[in-house]
Structure 1
Amino acid sequence: MRARSHPEVASTREAYALLGLTGPVEGEALTAAFRIAIKAARPEAAGGSEARFRQTIAAWRLIQRQTAPLALAAPAAPPPAAPVLAISPLDALNGGAVEVRIGGRLLRVRVPAGLRTGEHLRLKAAGEDGATLYLPVLVRGAHGLSAVGDDLYMTCPVSPRLLADGGRLEVETHAGPRSAWLVAGHQPLRLRLKGLGLPARGGRPQGHLFVTLEPSEAAPSPAEDLLVRFTRVWTPDRLAA
């Protein structure tokens, strides 16, 4: 049964999913996840809408209500919270080495590809007493990309003429250029490029890349875009051959 105070969120599990989380997190990681989710849910944002905006706020309030009783029952001297491991969307895509400060130490740790906000990275014997630490992960927007759950989001400037007349659009993504066809009079506000989101990991599926089309007079015209693609393919070396 849906709670009367949160008519748009069916359960705590759904609330975490709306914030792009795979499970409970606390403190800065939870607040940061909410900020990313509410920014992506705004009606003027890519894929945002009034309904999604209201759902995200309802999810945040529901999680706060669920975690508030835990704070009252906390021990008098709780252990210090583990630092948040903040990584970029490119780190989440490809994995690699990132730095994290633990106490007075700056450690360089290797993260696997496919980490999502809300997951934890296990660091064996990284605590000051040699204990194993579980660092909550936060995927922060960077390099023109943001991450919500399994999916990535970016914007692409597009010539107003191309939007009006339709034609071939080339989008520069983290995985290289990708093409899409725009139909005159039926332009979506957002494109979905399948399989270009975060990689599958554990029980999480392969994500997608959502591209917001942003009209811009500074964007290449269809003719300029064609010239750029021609130049990329027909390099001097290829012409000489």
Structure 2
Amino acid sequence: MRARSHSEVVSLNEAHALLGLTGPAESEALTAAFRAAVKAAHPSAAGGDAERFRKVIAAWRLIQERDRPLALAAPTVRPPSPPVVTIGPMDALNGGHVAVRLAGRTLDVRLPKGVRSGEHLRLRGAGDGGTDVYLPVLVRAADGLTVMGDDLHMSWPVTPRLIEDGGRLEIETHAGPRSAWIVAGLEPPVRLRLLGLGLPARGGRPAGHLFVTLIPSADAPSAAEDLLIRFTRVWTPDRLAA
């Protein structure tokens, strides 16, 4: 029978004891225990000893080979992840309904106004055994709008001269036309904030704002053309007849 060397560790129980553990441990706790044990056993440390130092290292290697792979093994069957409810900014603004495919069924899910990315929609009794299912929400950019937190972002073309000289402009937003003034001499990119035109307040979240980035464009209507467009919109034959 072969005699074991001074540095050999024959069992996991002995290996755990050398590291100051009573049994298997999670990765971080195991690493911390090894570092503390090997530091205390180092020959240069007070009370350290070369033989114990070698045993601590042998214990660590044994646990690495036999214990950790079992402790960290992933389950062979993972439960399916719930589908992500992907919507556009207008859905987040106005709420409504969206069709969601879940476990072979198509469900009509109600969207509340002001739902944000990262929130979850609760489907009562839709899971196995009548359990509730929580579906994560993702609001993607669409219709020229991007959602960031509580706020909406869009861009709007303007003439370079308007940015240089300043003046009044009209912006077509999701809530209808809005007027704004810009001062002369601003350095691009120029961004305007239209208060209260972001996502509506919901729960503890405040109402957001609409941020409009002005994009210099030679094709954008001039101030005079913009005024004519607005005049034409107001004084249409239908409105005159009314």
What's the TM-score, normalizing by structure 2? 0.66
Q: What is the CA–CA distance in structure 1 between the aligned matches of 2:161 and 2:73, rounded to whole Å?
A: 61
- Tell me the residue number matched to 1:203: 204
Aligned AA for 2:190? L
Q: Could you report, residue by residue, the CA deviation over 1:9-28 in whole angstroms, capped at 9, with x for unpaired residues?
A: xxxxxxxxxxxxxxxxxxxx
Alignment of 1:184-195 (within 5 A): 184-186=184-186, 189-195=190-196
- Tell me the residue number matched to 1:226: 227
TM-superposed deviation, 1:183: 1.4
Cα 1:169–1:126, aligned 2, differ >3 Å: closer, same or farther?
same
- Tell me the residue number matched to 2:146: 146
TM-superposed deviation, 1:76: 4.4
Aligned AA for 1:230? F
Aligned AA for 1:136? P
TM-superposed deviation, 1:75: 4.4
TM-superposed deviation, 1:176: 0.5
TM-superposed deviation, 1:128: 4.8
- Tell me the residue number matched to 1:106: 106
Q: What is the CA–CA distance in structure 2 between the aligned matches of 1:89 and 1:202, rounded to whole Å?
A: 18
Structure 2 residues not aligned, in runs of 5+: 1-71
- Tell me the residue number matched to 1:215: 216
Q: What is the CA–CA distance in structure 2 between the aligned matches of 1:73 and 1:198, rounded to whole Å?
A: 44
2:98 equivalent to 1:95: no
Q: What is the CA–CA distance in structure 1 between the aligned matches of 2:98 and 2:124, rounded to whole Å?
A: 16
Aligned AA for 2:137? V
Q: Could you report, residue by residue, the CA deviation over 1:159-214 in whole angstroms, capped at 9, with x for unpaired residues?
A: 11221222111110000011101112136611111100011000101101111111
- Tell me the residue number matched to 1:49: none
Secondary structure (helix, strand or coil) at the match of 1:114 reads: coil
TM-superposed deviation, 1:145: 0.5
Aligned AA for 2:97? A
Q: What is the CA–CA distance in structure 1 between the aligned matches of 2:112 and 2:239, rounded to whole Å?
A: 38
Please tell me whether Structure 1 or Structure 2 has the larger radius of gyration of its CA atoms: 2
Secondary structure (helix, strand or coil) at the match of 1:90 reads: helix
Alignment of 1:24-103 (within 5 A): 75-103=75-103
Structure 1 residues not aligned, in runs of 5+: 1-71
Q: How many aligned positions are there?
A: 170
Cα 1:135–1:159, aligned 2, differ >3 Å: closer, same or farther?
same
Aligned AA for 1:184? A
TM-superposed deviation, 1:147: 0.5
Q: Could you report, residue by residue, the CA deviation over 1:39-75 in whole angstroms, capped at 9, with x for unpaired residues?
A: xxxxxxxxxxxxxxxxxxxxxxxxxxxxxxxxx6864
Q: What is the CA–CA distance in structure 2 between the aligned matches of 1:95 and 1:238, rounded to whole Å?
A: 31
TM-superposed deviation, 1:88: 0.8
Q: What is the CA–CA distance in structure 2 between the aligned matches of 1:166 and 1:113, rounded to whole Å?
A: 36
2:229 equivalent to 1:235: no
Q: What is the CA–CA distance in structure 2 between the aligned matches of 1:207 and 1:237, rounded to whole Å?
A: 35
TM-superposed deviation, 1:99: 1.4
What's the TM-score, normalizing by structure 1? 0.66
- Tell me the residue number matched to 1:174: 174
Higher RCO structure (Cα 8 Å, ≥6 apart): 1
Cα 1:73–1:224, aligned 2, differ >3 Å: closer, same or farther?
farther
Moved over 6 A (4+): none
- Tell me the residue number matched to 1:50: none
Aligned AA for 2:138? L
- Tell me the residue number matched to 1:136: 136
Secondary structure (helix, strand or coil) at the match of 2:229 reads: helix
